[in-house]
Structure 1
Amino acid sequence: MKQHMLPVLCLTSILIIPGCSSGQDTEDAQTKNETRNTVQKESTSEDETFPVEINDASEDSVTIEEEPERIISIIPSNTEIAFALGLEEEIAGVSDHADYPKEAAEKEKIGGLQFNVEKIISLEPDLVLAHASSLQQSKEGLQQIEEAGIDVLVVNEAASFEETYESINMIARATGAKAEAKEIISSMKDDVEHLREQASQIPEEKKKTVWMEIQPPPDLYTTGSGTFQHSMLKLIHAENAAGSEKGWIPYTTEDAVKQNPQVIITTYGQSVDGNPAAQIKNRDGWSNVPAVENGEIYHVNSNLVSRPGPRLAEGAEELAELIYPDVFAE
């Protein structure tokens, strides 16, 4: 049951790139997340039972009367979190793009960004896990679901580890899985701290500049600050070639070459034909780029470095081992 608290003052359009979240890095967003964290911490205790009241990312207060027995997740990141929390049996439906864990692919599909409202209602869920990143285009559909008497929880859009912990905690509170969330977050924090300790061994003069290639030409995109990739590079003491800019940034191939990166990381290998490294090596004007000269062109799974969830620490570790194998490789 939702009780409206604050009006949504404005809705901003965001650029959607396959496999990525928006990653806007604004002080206002951080302040709002910190405020929401404070509210949730004050209202949460180890022995909390249902009903629970949660301030979600739509600026609404969601009251969940009983522990959900049937849950639908309409975005892959929420699905990953729900499975990690041990909610496989409760998951009644997922989006068409849910691909992890493998068991998610076997669940009933409810559509992609344009989810099927009638299908969702027919599955008789107690709770629908929505997401702030798609709130603008899904607002009408979510309203129809609420009018059918189904609780809708809009999970925050995360662009950092801390915001991901918030997402995990929010879903856990709504589903009665707080103990599992505590264990997951503790493990992630341990992994992040271990990477930070290892990275401290890297002297400043050995710091590498990295070009993160999110999408290849003709519509070349990279990632700036306010994104998971940027925070991961910073964590492992690497320099983001586009770190002075924010969000997802279009580049010309000429301007990309000027960044003169020592390492190139691509995140789209599973969605294009051919070998990204070979394609980069064959680009006009790229032969003298240090990363190309030294053969330091690597691919990582986009979901590991852009999808908010328990595998983010694994993504940061993979980046670390590729960029600084002498420091991080086992």
Structure 2
Amino acid sequence: MKKFWKIGLSAFLTLGLLAACGQEEKNDKSSNEPQTQQETSQVDEATFPMTITDAIGKDITLEAPPEKIVSLIPSNTEILFSLGLKDEIVGVTDNDDYPPEVAEKEKVGGMEYNIEKIIALNPDIVFSHESSMSLSEAAIEQLESAGVKVFVVNNAQDFNETYTTIEQLGRATGKLPEAEEVIANMKAKVEEVLAKVKDVEPKKVLVEASDEPDIYTAGNGTFMNAMLEMIHAENVAADADDWYKIDAEQIIAKNPDVIVVTYHYVPDILTKIPQRAGFDTINAVKNKAIVQVDENTTSRQGPRLGEGLEELAKAIYPEVFK
């Protein structure tokens, strides 16, 4: 008899927003300083057996590099593929869409996890994520009760913590050199972007993660806010914390120079936003500076974040990237 972990409608909406935002924010871990020289923590060469501690303080002992891996969030999946673990990954979620090879993998659920399928795959380790703990805790308990090792990956709040996550997963899977190469490539891309925007005149930016009537934006303490600070953009929504709902009147009053749209579920959204009542007074509308970016590269805490930073910078300062 199959056991399914079911999530209600409210949880579905919550997870949908998390997917768009890429994270569940934690203010005490975020940095308000622009990052230029991010450094990862030093780790020893990956040797087995090893004991690793996950994001919720749980120790997991691995006798050897895992030969079968299940990933329960797209960001983990992208990291694992970038480490060269294509053959070791035996299960992913319905939400995984990158790289293309992920389509060949067994699906273990999206808004619900098929616990029996995960157990049947006999994974050496399952990589979950801290951002979805409020929704996946029951599933994790079921898996652990069945003897499956579940490692909860940290919900990174900036590039530095993302580098540390990649390094940690590289160590846990016996792919530390590959992880360090991924990190080096990311750092090179970040430095390239920061060099181009070093002397820009800062612009006021609003990030939209969902359409009206429930418009959500990135406040202080979010990964998105940290990215905006890195490229010298002023987040007009940084006077409040986390991702929060903002109304149209507030947006009009804040008068952003650029509106960055991170969602794609509304057809023709770039033509609809200027038609909202009162938006014709906003500088972003007047100057036709409403830009849509890829919600995955700009939010997933993985190897493509450098590309996401570049896309965000191009959206805000197109003149610099001509």
Give TM-score, length-normalised by structure 1.
0.86
What is the CA RMSD across the aligned residues, in angstroms?
A: 2.0
Q: Distance in 2 between matches of 1:145 and 1:179?
A: 30
Match for residue 214 of structure 2 among 209, 215, 219: 219
Letter in 1 for 2:309: A
Distance across 2 between alignment mates of 1:140 and 1:319: 36
Asked if residue 127 in structure 1 is aligned to residue 128 in structure 2, the reply is: no
Deviation string 1:117-148 (CA, Å, 9 cap, x unpaired) is 11100111111111111223322322232233
- Residue in structure 2 matching 1:109, options 107, 110, 127: 107
Aligned partners of 2:41 and 2:164 also within 8 Å: no
Quick one: distance in 1 between partners of 2:48 and 2:240? 44
Deviation at 1:20, TM superposition (A): 2.0
One-letter code of the match for 2:75? S
Which AA in structure 2 matches 1:26? N
Tell me the amino acid that sits aligned with residue 282 of structure 2.
V
Shift of 1:113: 3.8
Tell me if 1:27 matches 2:28: yes
Q: How does 1:243-262 map to 2 (within 5 A)?
A: 243-262=238-257
- Structure 2 counterpart of 1:82, from 63, 74, 80: 80
In the other structure, the counterpart of 1:118 is: 116
Task: Choose between structure 1 and 2 for higher RCO, CA contacts under 8 A separated by at least 6 residues.
Answer: 2
Alpha-carbon distance in 2 for matches of 1:130, 1:25: 18
2 CA distance for matches of 1:221 and 1:316?
20
Task: Give the direction of change, closer, same or farther, for the CA distance of 1:210–1:62 in structure 2 (3 Å limit).
Answer: same
**Runs of at least 4 residues off by over 3 Å:** none
Contact 1:265 1:298 in 2 (8 A): yes
Contact 1:71/1:92, CA 8 A, preserved across alignment: yes
TM-score, normalization by structure 2? 0.88
Shift of 1:70: 0.7
Q: Is the 8 A contact 2:27 2:222 kept in 1?
A: no
Q: Which runs of 5+ in 1 are unaligned?
A: 1-13, 31-39
More displaced stretch, 185-194 vs 212-221: 185-194
- Residue-by-residue CA offset, 1:208-266 (whole Å, 9 max, x unaligned): 11111111101111111222221111111111111222110101111111110111110
Structure 2 partner of 1:184: 182
Q: Structure 2 unaligned runs (5+)?
A: 1-12, 32-39
SS at match of 1:215: coil
One-letter code aligned to 1:155: V
Secondary structure (helix, strand or coil) at the match of 2:59 reads strand
Could you tell me which amino acid in structure 2 is paired with residue 140 of structure 1? A
Structure 2 counterpart of 1:45: 44
- Percent identical across equivalent pairs? 45
Which residue is equivalent to 1:328?
A: 321
User: What residue in structure 2 maps to residue 295 of structure 1?
Assistant: 288
